[in-house]
Amino acid sequence: MLYLLVLTDPELSYGNYSEDFYIGLFETEQQAEDTAQHYLKYIKGFCDFPCTYRIVKKDVISEFNSRISDYLWTVQGWNTNEDLDEIDIIESPCFLTEEQADAELPVMKKKYQRAEWTVTRWKLGALKWHEGFVRMVDGEPVN
């Protein structure tokens, strides 16, 4: 079991769209929790607005301890709404190799009707959005 940290800006979320920031994939729930608290306290954007977080448990296909690198792969599919925001997101478990994820892609495409698909590589423990974000209103930063 691995843990995916997702931070959300609820002020920019609406209807069935959620303004989510995928931060990282962690070996322990405590690592994900500690990272969430750090982002909400210190990282630009996340600490400036009432962001929330969730930790998603991710299964690993194959024996995790048999992995040969710190990289894992997932398959993700989604649709877009009239504002071109990603909705109806579905995700696979984690795979130890890109080949396993590539093999899962056509299976998921057949099972789920989604407009867009991707195979994503994750480095275990690596942080995304580590510089935060700036919210713009009328072309001006508000944080």
Summarize pLDDT for 87-103 with one digit per residue, the tens.
999 999 999 999 999 99
Q: Which domain holds residue 79?
A: 2-141
pLDDT at 64: 67
Q: Average pLDDT in the 55-80 region? A: 89
Is this prediction's pTM over 0.85? Answer: yes
Q: 67 or 47: which carries more pLDDT confidence? A: 47
Q: Average pLDDT in the 49-76 region? A: 89
End-to-end CA distance of the chain: 36
Domain count across the chain:
1
Q: Are 10 and 52 in contact (CB under 8 A)?
A: yes
Q: Are 125 and 26 in contact (CB under 8 A)?
A: yes
Among residues 56, 58, 45, the alpha carbon closest in space to that of 19 is found at 45
Q: Average pLDDT in the 105-132 region? A: 96
Q: 143 or 89: which carries more pLDDT confidence? A: 89
